[in-house]
Chains A and B, each alone.
Chain A
Amino acid sequence: MNLFLTFQIALRSLSRNKIRSGLTVLGIIIGIAAVIAVMAVGQGATVMIQSQISSLGENLLMVYPGSASTGGLHFGAGTNATLTASDGDAILKESHYVRALTPITRTGGQLVYKEKNWFSGIQGVAPDYPKIRNWKLEKGSFFADSDVKSANRICVIGATVAENLFEDENPVGKIIRIKNMPFRVIGVLEQKGSAAWGQDQDDVVVVPWTTVRRVLQNSAFNDVNQLLLNIDSTSQLESAKKEITEILRQRHHLAPVADNDFTINDMTELSKTVTETARLMTLLLAVIASISLLVGGIGIMNIMLVSVTERTREIGLRMAVGARGQDILLQFVVEAIVLSGIGGILGILIGSGTAELVARVYGWPVLVSAQSILLAFIFSTAVGVFFGFYPAWRASRLNPIEALRYE
């Protein structure tokens, strides 16, 4: 008996009990659809995160004050006044790899324009900042070195801030109050969307870095929260890190045994961490989704066992007219595969549809990869074989006489 006929027979016997077959298939559909949708959303998120990080600039290096071994990052920002703008100048002058550099100082504050209020993060940077971040201006212009030197009260605002304070008005040339001090808006940054870590990058006000310290914080300190710098290519990442470390150690007069009092990070590390987190989340969700597939598989096994018992006489008759054990085995395994295969195909369609819907409604990126479709199909078929085999084997071992006599 050939496989094509076996499929035909399987389809025929399954269609004779449509409701039962349909419900059994439903179990698989739900399982496969859940797996497909979860993987699509997870993979979409991973791809988005990766592209965002690379759009951020793969050639970026970030220098923070504070040593890595004492938890650098975590109490680095602001607590150790170990990193200054002149460190930045020295790096820019002495390093062979650094193309551009900006100190970054941070604070936050209430913004007021007419009767509108908005709280936002305030970032102090140097004029090279847009170049380093690869961030264009939507309107107006960026500030110059002279503005930094004299700590002028001018600012460039992000799209979110522009929207909340100005709505349809053109912000360029307007005066807003930051922490109750008047600042002139000279430009608006292009919309950048939310970052990989979920933060809205457009909710920002950019001012000269000196302005943050001297004007907004009224401080005499000359330290910075971060140095953001751009090297020529990623291949130079390690050499650049080494060189910058040397320059800073020398400038900070660190003894050879002393730890660094600064930390250098690059984007690849961030990219790795974020991608790994996304991958783990996807995996976790996929495991949960697979459990429903397992439940679907047990459903198939259950129905096949019932079916074998119910059709004992049919099996006996088929044997009486010449079916061999393996024909019966194949018939029931194929029936299980047809059930799980149909469930798999419908599940893939419904899962992809759900993912597409999520993409449309929530603007969440999804990616239904050919790989996950293939995997889901193979998996569903395997579920059929696995859970269909035992009932089929039981059927194939029946004795024809006893099967025919079964009531």
Chain B
Amino acid sequence: MVIHLNQITKIYYSGEIAVPALKNISLVVEPGEFIAVMGSSGSGKTTLMNIIGCLDKPTSGQYFLEEKNVTNLNRNELAHIRNKKIGFIFQNFNLLPLATALENVELPLYYAATRSPDGRGDGNDLPHQSGVSSGRQKRQRANELLNRLGLGHRLNHRPTQLSGGEQQRVAIARALVNQPPLVLADEPTGNLDSKTSHEIMTLFKQLNQDGITIILITHEKDIADYAKRLIYLKDGQVVV
């Protein structure tokens, strides 16, 4: 999955004041890369990640995902890309607090029912098209993934009943459940102790070896060392 950012600029407006968060960023990410994004607080890392993750739109510039210009896509088309192509992992895990680990992991599957590539769903849930169909199959996929991440004994626990590392692994399972080619992680180890952080990073390394493109944000050098490539942001610009 090739990511191609061309002259991306993002300007936030707080009242009359324009805050440029990203300035003319151009970047190419090849399939299978493992990138760490670093930079001081406020340098625009999260902003960049949100744009790559199709959660936000740039103020100007073009963003090509697999040769397709996603800058002009509508809300539904972006939702489709987020569902199928991108797995998101957040610093604060963002799990549904009242749902079990299994239910949290199943979540993206609910929105993965058959959709035409333009993002318009037809409401059907045909197995040969979606790959995942029946509730049982969904459950099984989520189940397997949690088992693989060592959470087989925590399936029906709620997030509050899990440790930080376990919660982040649930979030990783959720990001992987639709088998996206790209995984984005915004400070995935920010809330974890160093031992757990390294376990999580080992996991990312394995995923990358399986062929998944990974971009992650971190403030820590030893975390960034797991990546194959480092991008350093300063004041909304790439400096390395």
Contacts and interface: CB of A to CB of B under 8 A. Distances in A.
B178 to A, nearest CB: 8
Contacts of B113: 1-2, 5
A262 B194 CA distance: 107
Given A1-B113, A9-B110, A322 B83 contact: yes
Contact of A320 (B55, B103, B125): B55
Contact of B119 (A8, A317, A319, A324): A324
B240 to A, nearest CB: 26
Interface in B63-87: 75-76, 79-80, 82-84
Nearest to B112: A322
Nearest to A316: B94
A322 B79 contact: yes
Contacts of B178: 322
B83 to A, nearest CB: 2
Which of A8, A320, A327 counts the most B-chain CB atoms under 10 A from its CB?
Answer: A320
A123 B111 CA distance: 80
A16 B97 CA distance: 10
Contacts of B79: 319, 322-325, 327
Contact of B56 (A5, A12, A401): A401
Interface string B97-124: 0110001000110111100000101011
A392 to B, nearest CB: 16
B105 to A, nearest CB: 10
Contacts of B82: 319-322
A313 B92 CA distance: 12
Interface of A (DSSP majority class):
helix
A314 interface: yes
Contacts of A321: 82-83, 88, 107-108, 111, 174
Contacts of A9: 110
Contacts of A317: 94, 96, 107
Contacts of A47: none
A324 B75 contact: yes
B152 interface: no
A81 interface: no
Interface size class on chain A is 20 to 34
Interface string B111-142: 11100000101011100000000010000000
A139 interface: no
Interface string B43-60: 000000010010110000
A1 B112 CA distance: 7
Contacts of B55: 320, 400-401, 404
A318 B98 CA distance: 14
Which of B80, B96, B103 counts the most A-chain CB atoms under 10 A from its CB?
Answer: B96
Interface in A278-325: 313-314, 317-325
Contacts of A327: 79, 111
Nearest to B125: A2
A70 to B, nearest CB: 72
Nearest to A314: B96
> What are the 10 tightest A-B residue pairs by CB atom distance, in nearest-first order?
A322-B83, A322-B111, A321-B108, A16-B98, A324-B79, A324-B76, A323-B111, A2-B125, A317-B94, A322-B82
Interface of A: 1-3, 5, 8-9, 12-13, 16, 313-314, 317-327, 400-401, 404
13 contacts: A2-B125, A5-B135, A8-B135, A12-B103, A318-B111, A320-B55, A320-B88, A320-B94, A322-B79, A324-B75, A324-B80, A324-B111, A401-B50
